[in-house]
Structure 1
Amino acid sequence: MSTARALASPPARSLAPRASTRRRDARARLVRGRSLKLPRGPKLPRLGPAAGVAAAAAAASDDDAASSVAETSDEEADADRRRREAEDRANLQDRLRTSMEAAARAEDFQLAARLRDELNEALERDEHHVAKRQLATAIDEERFEDAARLRDLVASLEPPPPPPAVKVPCHSDVTTEGVNVRVMSTYVASRSRPESGQYFFAYTVRVTNRTAKIVQLRRRRWIITDGEGRVEEVAGPGVVGQQPVLLPGQTFEYASACPLRTRVGTMEGTYTFAWLVATPAAELEDGDGEDGDGEDGAGEDGEEGKDGEKEEEEAPRKEDARDMDEFSTALTFLREGEQSEFEVEIGLFGLDADVGASTQ
């Protein structure tokens, strides 16, 4: 019976892995091991606490600088706005006051009354004007505590002063197309009246021809700007009544003056030059030439006495011709060249009552 049951039962499976399975598992482990093995990179330096503090300080410094620049630009913008508003209020009040006075002179009293009311309204809207009026009243009534407070209020409402003007050097040195122009200005105190807004400046110009050709100064053009931005242009032929011709290497120097209504200003401009060509007089006479041989009136049969007389008459003529040749050789005519006129820059230079003062 035991034998029969043993034959009827299915054979038990072996739990030991096969050889093929063992080889497959080994390859998988090998592949996994290779895929997990990563190359090492360079070691990064380890930052200590001091480095972190320095980096934070640098970042904070950059932020402070940016914040300072932003605050400065905001302050400048606010100052510009306050200056413009104060200027607009002053211009409006001046315009209304001038119109009111003109209407009163013309006996148009209805218009004058209307302009007076508009002027009073404009003054009441002006906080600075109101504070100054209240300060004057407090002083008259001897309310000095109120006067001290109003004094501080008036100071706070004052428009900020304009930024200092950029100083321009009182000299310039510019070369254009080989023509050099040097200018220097001075303030003439003896001919100025600052209390009346009259400032007198002198300037010296030195023009040098650094080309290999002949040039002539034909015209001038100046642009004059005062300290308040008013611009004036001055143009005309030549300079100081002349149109100088400059040979190569030659220099022309002159002095002039400029009145101004402000303590500072600037000047710049251009000169118009022309190229000239020199032509000796002898070349102009070449076209005339010498006369050909004429007929010999005497012929071969002429008398010797007549030949002697001719020689005596021709001798002074030859001397005159020789003298004329020498004069023609020295004489040269100038004419305009084929090239057109050209502009020469006069560099920007300053007019400053605080720099280079002169008592002339």
Structure 2
Amino acid sequence: MHFAGSFPATRMRRNRRDAWSRTLSAESRLAPQDLIWPIFLTSGTGQRVPVASMPGVFRVSVDRVAEHVAEAVSLGIPAVALFPYTPMEERDKDGTGALDPENLMCRAARALKKAHPELGLIGDVALDTHTSHGHDGVVRDGHVHNEESVEILSRMAVLQAEAGMDCVAPSDMMDGRIGAIRAALDARGLEHTRIMSYAAKYASGFFAPFRDAVGSLVGPDRAGPSDKKTYQMDPANGDEALREVALDVAEGADMVMVKPGLPYLDVLYRVRKEFGLPTFVYQVSGEYSMIMAAVERGWLDHDRAMMEGLMAFKRAGANGILTYFAVSAARRLKEG
């Protein structure tokens, strides 16, 4: 026999008992409108090429990109982020292809705006997909030159905006590039073009499948540049991320991003709490591929792992998530 008061009056399990009360008690929500789908572009026509290191991810040619994103649009995903795959024979040390108005990014922007005018287009602004050495800027005397790189990136941003990108996303981590890009856009009457800054981008080991997807694994061992540590952030540093974000906000960034995602939830939380402006997170290729590899081996349940990871970003404060799971997650959310 148990007497009154022998159990606690508060039982945390009560609100977990049924689906309806779990729904009403949920502190964070995830919807298709929170997702941004990264898209890889490739040259040629009729192309839909699998990325070997990213199961379920493809490079698509410009003539197929509108068709490729149609389901995402129908599911309510508000924006896609575009990245080009440039064959090595089309690259040079200064990444001059980035300034070609007929490059993959510009042609894809025009095609997508024509087919899906309400879809938000986010253009990657960095030189690593155009340079023969794989760096995000130009190399002079063995070092990535900040000011010359920023000047090229500013021209690149203008070119993309004129082609139809709604938002440019500098992922290069050069100092001062947000202010320079904002000034360049405004000088061309492109004051409505938004800037989503990769404000806290770390020199991470989780980027390798992405570099495979865009062809920036250069060198004899396909390892890519070994010294992006000179411009991307040290994984040991959290306070420094707040300084980076503060600088980019002061220079005119409309939105900021933390990249990678899951290993940097603490940084995401601090950035959102400190600044309160639209804050995004990139669930990067390595995070995606780890989950998919475990799923293929039967070690993880695809939907549970996918949704739990995405909810973690919302819980930490992200307004939106760049994720290769975007379409799969949106389907799951629509199913209820």
Flag the structure with larger Rg.
Answer: 1
TM-score by length of 2: 0.19
TM score, norm. by length of structure 1: 0.18
- Choose between structure 1 and 2: higher strand proportion: 1
